Structure 1
Amino acid sequence: MLSLHKKPLHVTNVQNANCVVMVPPKEFRFNEETARDNEFQHQVNLSEAEVKQQTMDEFKTMVMLLRKEGVQVVEFDYPESDVETPDAVFPNNWFSSCSDGSLYTFPMACENRQQEVKPDALVTALEESGRIVNQVESLESYLKEGAYLESTGVMVIDHINKTIYAALSQRCDREVLEDYAKRIGYNRVVSFQTALPSGHPIYHTNVMMAIGDNFCVICDEVIPEFERRFVIKSLAKDKQVISISLDQMNRFCGNILQLETINGDKVIAMSQSAYDAFSPAQLAQLSTHGKLLPFNVKTIEDIGGGSVRCMLGEVFLPTRVNQL
């Protein structure tokens, strides 16, 4: 396995993955470390056993329904260590992949989340599922500088236009962001500030916006006006922009993901909470871009502060064999 930095070989601009990595919530609990800047997390009145049962049920049902729909799911039953990883169910924050066979790992802001980064085990799981990994690249050296970039948690990517959208925060450092964009050959980065009613920035861009091949969902009211116009103008060039309210964002309407099935059909994965919060008109708009797939992940949402999109690590790696 190569770890030296290389220029990208040949990255195909495909917006939607037809394969995702999902991680079972076997150590899942309220994460005090991430709660410092994640206002979406909540304590719940459930026993440890109830939390484990409910979250595992939510996870298994989601895996089953995605596979039934024709999306390949790689279950990454990661090796446990001495340090618990309560947020391992959100794998999209520590890795990304490209169609040239490159796999990237990222610097995570919280110490217990840094323990989730297990590239060797992930490569084994991906290759066993029929995917080809040509090289592994790491940006974790930035940890020494206290600079973080939590992958597609903080980067919402328009692959077709080679553009990365990112809300700057403690978890999204501009320098690391620019470095990653350069490495994968994406020539445009649109970074911006955000502010919640508390005055704090959004912890992850993917709770406020999602990009599909021909649409975008965005809570633009959290972006300062002088930057908001530029972001919306950029998106509206070739996307149908669906604006959501702060309340809809809090119910994870921005945390959705367009995927492809093995037959090439488009589907849009979202939580039941998000589905119920979209207006009928917005659901009608979204349904023109793919079949809507709502999943009940309420326990994971409430305790973890992340939803369906966070649970899906997209896989763009080349395929050796087609298998579900």
Structure 2
Amino acid sequence: MKQITNTILMIRPVSFRMNEQTAINNYYQKVIENLTPETLQFKALQEFDNFVNKLREIGVNVIVVNDTKESDTPDSIFPNNWISFHENGDIGIYPMFAENRRSERREDIFDILEENGFKINNIIDYSSAEEEGLFLEATGSLALDRQHKKAYCAISPRADEDLLIEFCEDFEYTPVSFIAYQTVEGKRLPIYHTNVMMCLAESFSVICLDSIDDKKERKNVIKHLKEDGLEIISITEKQLNNFAGNMLQVLGSNNEKYLVMSSAAYQCLTNEQIKKIEKYCKILHSSLDTIEACGGGSARCMMAEVFLPKN
């Protein structure tokens, strides 16, 4: 199985803003004072378009779909929370914590992918779990090691352990669960998404081990990464707060590998960490300051990797 892909789905925002419904447990979101909604949307759109251009320049196939004005979906820019694509032609559809995020799930996106020559064999839909108040937000909650068929998952209000196990049974993954914490006003609270604190690339993992407070759980995560031959590149909690865990490895032209991140994430890395990453691939970064502050998500959240087979 491939760990990285050349094709990415991204959703171009039409009314981006801070989502009050997700701010309940996404402690990375901030209110930017003195910005009109129009300015906020304009800045987010600028960052989005620049980011897409940079990805296309290195040869990544970016499928951009415009968000629609009909539904109030301030977080539509983060499609990796509601859908996942798999090499066997399966698609996963996921239950979302925030009610106003649920209308991000759009069937027309399947048509667009098919128009682009991708084959969809089967759709596995977990979204009815919302009725029981259970959530699992796709590759936000699941850091997938597709090569070794392991699903790393930081259990939180947005990642239910029973749903993780159900996903693993359906997609034939081994679950590796733990709780990751961040310090918020002196308290240790669960990090809302796994992809904020860890990134799984082909030969390495960028991870904030300090966020896993339970020593047994931390040891277990290390054991799994090491037994699969992944180099562990540790980041600090301060770096985590700058979205240094929210990265994605992609394929550009001529199968050149890149680790994609925001400029804030890149700027907080040490020279030693950069050297370790560059042993394996090049780095691409783009400024996402507005999106990070208001959305509480970064580069990785904006990219839904497409692994579907081609017709």
User: With structure 2 as the length reference, what TM-score do the two structures score?
Assistant: 0.96
1:277 is aligned to 268
Q: Which amino acid aligns with 2:7?
A: C
Give distance in 2, aligned partners of 1:205 and 1:306: 12
1:28 aligns with 2:19: no
Between Structure 1 and Structure 2, which shows a larger proportion of strand residues? 2
1:233 is aligned to 223
RMSD: 1.1
Give distance in 1, aligned partners of 2:194 and 2:292: 16
> CA-to-partner distance for each residue in 1:138-186, whole Å, 9 max, x for gaps?
1112112111000000110111110010000110001111111111122
2:111 is aligned to 124
Q: Which piece of structure 1 moves more, 86-95 or 172-181?
A: 172-181
Give distance in 1, aligned partners of 2:112 and 2:67: 9
Give distance in 1, aligned partners of 2:8 and 2:74: 20
2:292 is aligned to 301
Give distance in 2, aligned partners of 1:86 and 1:289: 35
Does the 8 Å contact 1:72/1:262 carry over to 2? no
Query: Where has structure 1 moved over 3 Å in runs of 4 or more?
Result: none
1:316 is aligned to 307
1:221 aligns with 2:210: yes
Give distance in 2, aligned partners of 1:185 and 1:262: 31
Does the 8 Å contact 1:78/1:121 carry over to 2? no
Give distance in 2, aligned partners of 1:109 and 1:127: 28
SS in 2 for 1:200: strand
Does the 8 Å contact 2:200/2:248 carry over to 1? yes
SS in 2 for 1:34: coil
Give distance in 2, aligned partners of 1:58 and 1:19: 20
1:72 aligns with 2:61: yes
Following superposition, the deviation at residue 101 of structure 1 comes to 1.2
Following superposition, the deviation at residue 262 of structure 1 comes to 4.5
Following superposition, the deviation at residue 196 of structure 1 comes to 1.7
SS in 2 for 1:199: strand
- Number of residues of Structure 1 aligned to a counterpart in Structure 2: 305
> CA-to-partner distance for each residue in 1:193-251, whole Å, 9 max, x for gaps?
12222221000000000000100011111112221111112112211101100000000
Does the 8 Å contact 1:154/1:166 carry over to 2? yes
Q: Which piece of structure 1 moves more, 275-284 or 127-136?
A: 127-136
Identical amino acids, percent of aligned pairs = 38
Give distance in 2, aligned partners of 1:301 and 1:79: 21
1:248 is aligned to 239
Following superposition, the deviation at residue 78 of structure 1 comes to 3.5
Following superposition, the deviation at residue 40 of structure 1 comes to 0.3
Does the 8 Å contact 1:196/1:202 carry over to 2? yes
1:150 is aligned to 137
2:31 is aligned to 43
Following superposition, the deviation at residue 80 of structure 1 comes to 3.9
